Amino acid sequence: MDVRSQVSMVFHLDKCIGCHTCSIACKNIWTDRKGAEYMWWNNVETKPGTGYPTKWEDQNIYQGGWERNGDSVSLKGAGKLRGLKNIFHNPYMPVLDDYYEPWTYKYQDLFTAPEGNDQPTARPVSLVTGETMDVKAGPNWDDDLGGSPDYARQDVNMQKLTPAEQEVMFQLERMTLHYLPRICNHCLNPACVASCPSGALYKRGEDGVVLINQERCRAWRMCVTACPYKKSYYNWHTGKSEKCVLCYPRLESGQAPACFHSCVGRIRYLGVMLYDADKIEAVASVPEDQIVQAQMDIYLDPFDPKVIEEAKKNGIADSTIEAAQKSPVYKFVKLWKLALPLHPEFRTLPNLFYVPALLPSVGTVNNGIYNSNTNGLWGGIDTTRLPMKYLASLFSAGNTETVAEVLKRLMTVRWHRRNVTVGDVDEKTVNAALEDTKMDTATADAIFRLTTLATFDERFVIPPAHREESIEMLENTGDVKGNTGFGFKERPARGL
């Protein structure tokens, strides 16, 4: 067992109001620079929708992530040999139109326009060419168009639905949407790190944050292709690639990343997870229908004496172990089984987990008793407005049962709490749901508390910085583990 620590995240989608405050906080701190205007290290997209960059989830277009080759994995479209073949023209690279052309407005015209009969206007001007332009796309364009079916129908996940199922979904009274905020997942098996010919990307030993060394980056842009989430970006002004740094200077001083700190919906949670690095390659290589469970199993119980012993042997500080024990991410992901990784089939083992949105389910009130199980205990979930196949395509590599189990647990908490606070839910329903999901009322109350009333310190359990553990834990060493392109460095004894 090779115990490592990872700063991980949970986003609770039922709470996201799509206000984009997170995106603006990040933009103001990190990407308000020449060459970075089009970058949104934190972006919020609308689902169903095509996202940013357009259709980023479609690896037939972008060839990102890993593919399984027997007991191992190899990069799908990047890597040294494939990369060399495409050195002069990489057909899998998103172009500016796939993101959008960033713009500002000629605000000065509002003040300098001559007096006339018309209201003066500030025309949009391209931040790339400086020319006036017609705005045709933006980082949250689907949202600007109010979840328009024109975009929703182009959602890559729709391919998992039959045409008949899609028609039902787009009936006016059934149409719905939810927001999907995204940042870099600081993956356990980061395709970006493995793809870089210059070895510029690395994963920090003390917290698992994935960074790009600007000194070593040689603008190959393999990381842009390799990242299936398209969270590595090329700065056309500096000629270097850039990505989310999880606000590591803030983390090191005990503060939450800016997008977390500013989140209006309080949907974000951050904490340490301990995991077994010996299992990364094996987990990344399991068949698709086992990948979610395999990833869940790689995270370790921070209260287990054996895990603690191995963690200490590996130089993990007591304060980090303590942070892992208090981690809200550990609770949501491992203990309560409420949060799932986005597109686990990309095999990068992402460390950002989502509590899926419990979409509008309609109940009835008969004789003053609220009843949401109008069609059997879980009828509301079986007929949820966003088909289970769609949610499974997002969060469980197509396994509908996995998503359904999460939604049932969320629904159980909702019924239990409504029974406690309003008292108008059929008692039999609550008890049947608790029994079916094997949840006790104390757990349901704990989930409710962390979801709704949690304080700042409960949502963000940030371990004290341990720069003495600083080592580039995982960097592109090319051939250390078979042909996968990644490997672990030996960890030095603590204190070195």
Nearer to ligand SF4, 222 or 381 (CB): 222
Q: Specify the residue, 99 or 378, whose C-beta has the smaller distance to ligand SF4.
A: 99
- For residue 93, what are its two tokens? 């690279």
Minimum separation from the CB atom of position 374 to ligand SF4 (A) = 31
Listed in sequence order, the residues at least 6 apart from 438 whose beta carbon sits closer than 8 Å to its beta carbon are: none
Which residues, numbered 344-363, are part of the site for ligand SF4 (CB under 6 A)?
348
Binding status of residue 144 toward ligand SF4 by CB under 6 A: no
SS3 (DSSP) at 46: strand
Q: Considering the complex, what minimum distance in angstroms separates the CB of residue 439 from ligand SF4? A: 27
Looking at 110-118, 149-157, 158-166, 187-195, which segment touches ligand SF4 (CB under 6 A)? 187-195
Residues whose CB falls within 8 Å of the CB of residue 305, separated by 6 or more in sequence, listed in order? none
The β-bridge partners of 148 are none
The site string for ligand SF4 over 248-287 (x = CB under 6 A, - otherwise) reads ---------------xxx-x--------------------
Contact characters 226-245, ligand SF4, x per CB under 6 A: -x-x-xx----------x--
Judged by CB under 6 A, does residue 192 bind ligand SF4? yes
Helix (H) or strand (E) holding 47: strand 43-47
Please say whether the dihedral angle defined by the alpha carbons of residues 235, 241, 244 and 247, taken in this order, is positive or negative.
Answer: negative
Spatial distance between the Cα atoms of 212 and 192, rounded to a whole number of angstroms: 9
Using the rule CB under 6 A, is 12 a contact of ligand SF4? no
Closest CA to 241 of 99, 66, 59, 41: 41
CB of 217 to ligand SF4, least distance (A): 13
* CB of 194 or CB of 430, closer to ligand SF4: 194
Question: What is the closest distance, in whole angstroms, from the C-beta atom of residue 226 to ligand SF4 in the complex?
Answer: 7
Please identify, using beta-carbon distances, which residue of 399 and 476 lies nearer to ligand SF4. Answer: 476
Q: Which stretch binds ligand SF4 (CB under 6 A): 223-231, 402-410, 433-441, 460-468?
A: 223-231
Contact 461, 271 (CB under 8 A): yes
When the beta carbons of 207 and 405 are compared against ligand SF4, the nearer one is: 207
CA atoms within a 13 Å half-sphere pointing along the CA-CB vector of 473 = 26
Q: What are the distances in angstroms from CA 5 to CA 23, 167, 324, 448?
A: 27, 45, 8, 27
User: What residues numbered 43-62 form the site for ligand SF4, per CB under 6 A?
Assistant: 44
Please state whether the peptide bond connecting residue 48 to the residue before it is cis, i.e. omega within 30 degrees of 0. yes
Binds ligand SF4 by CB under 6 A, chosen from 9, 16, 277, 291: 16
At its nearest, how many Å lie between ligand SF4 and the CB of residue 313? Answer: 27
Q: How far apart are CA 7 and CA 320, in angstroms?
A: 10
Instruction: Determine which residue in the list 210, 270, 284, 338 makes contact with ligand SF4, applying CB under 6 A.
Output: 210
40 or 100: whose CB is closer to ligand SF4?
A: 40
DSSP string, 191-244: HHHHH-TT--EEEETTT--EEE-TTT--S--HHHHH-TT--EEEETTTTEEEE-
Compute how many residues bind ligand SF4; rule: CB under 6 A.
28
194 binds ligand SF4 (CB under 6 A): no
Q: Is residue 20 at the binding interface for ligand SF4, with CB under 6 A as the rule?
A: yes
Among 3, 9, 10, 22, binds ligand SF4 (CB under 6 A): 22
Residue 44 CB, nearest distance to ligand SF4 (Å)?
4
Which residue among 1, 2, 19, 148 contacts ligand SF4 (CB under 6 A)?
19
Exposed, middle or buried, 141 (CB in 10 Å: 0-12/13-18/19+)?
buried
CB 6 within 8 A of CB 351: yes
Q: Per CB under 6 A, which of residues 413..472 are in contact with ligand SF4?
A: none
Q: Which of residues 88-127 bind ligand SF4 (CB under 6 A)?
A: none
**Per CB under 6 A, does 184 bind ligand SF4?**
yes
Pick one of 76, 186, 331, 459: the residue that binds ligand SF4 (CB under 6 A). Answer: 186
Hey, what are 326's tokens?
A: 């208090």
The SS3 call for residue 305 is helix
Q: Which is nearer to ligand SF4, 354 or 390 (CB)?
A: 354
Q: What is the CA radius of gyration of the chain?
A: 23
Touching ligand SF4, residues 25-44 (CB under 6 A): 44
180-219 in b/e form (b: 16+ CB < 10 A) is bbbbbbbbbbbbbbbbbbbbbbbbbbbbbbbbbeeeebee
**Which residues lie near ligand SF4 (CB under 6 A)?**
16-22, 44, 179, 181, 184-187, 190-192, 210, 227, 229, 231-232, 243, 263-265, 267, 348
